[in-house]
């Protein structure tokens, strides 16, 4: 099954037949000591902290994939009003949450 995901409130060219629930996927990631050393050095000289950029990008992809799998398990055809949010769980770790409204399309 292929689930369409959109940040909009509708799927262009399609009508929402019913709402099946909230689709969500999350991941909690902690920093890694080796990355922290490199990030600390980059922080001194300035510039992008590529190690953390990569870590967060991977985390977003994993949370997104989990949300799509959850939507599929609900029998949804699409997820509308899709969003990401991030929160700190404890020092050195963060939660990435992907969520949206799982719907059946007409």
% of residues, the chain, pLDDT over 70: 83
Q: Would you put residue 66 in left (φ > 0), alpha (ψ -120 to 50) or beta?
A: alpha
Under a CB-based contact definition with an 8 Å cutoff, are residues 103 and 82 in contact? no
Q: What is the pLDDT of residue 51?
A: 75
Each domain of the chain, given as residue ranges in start order, spans 4-105
pLDDT at 34 exceeding the cut of 70: no
Asked if residue 44 lies in contact with residue 31, where contact means CB atoms within 8 angstroms, the answer is no
pLDDT reported for residue 32: 61
- The pTM of this model reads 0.84
23 pLDDT above the threshold of 80: yes
Mean pLDDT of the chain: 88
Please tell me the total number of residues recorded for the chain in this structure.
Answer: 106
Structurally, at CATH architecture level, domain 4-105 sits in 2-Layer Sandwich (3.30)
């Amino acid at each position: 099954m292929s689930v369409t995901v959109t940040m909009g409130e509708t799927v262009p060219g399609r009508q929402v037949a019913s709402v099946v629930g909230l689709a969500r996927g999350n991941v909690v990631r902690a920093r890694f000591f080796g990355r922290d050393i490199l990030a600390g050095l980059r922080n001194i000289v300035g510039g992008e902290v590529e190690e953390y950029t990569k870590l967060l990008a991977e985390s977003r992809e994993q949370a997104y994939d989990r949300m799509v799998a959850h939507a599929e398990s609900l029998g949804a055809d699409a997820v509308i009003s899709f969003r990401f949010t991030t929160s700190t769980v404890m020092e050195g770790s963060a939660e990435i949450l992907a969520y949206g409204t799982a719907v059946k399309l007409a």
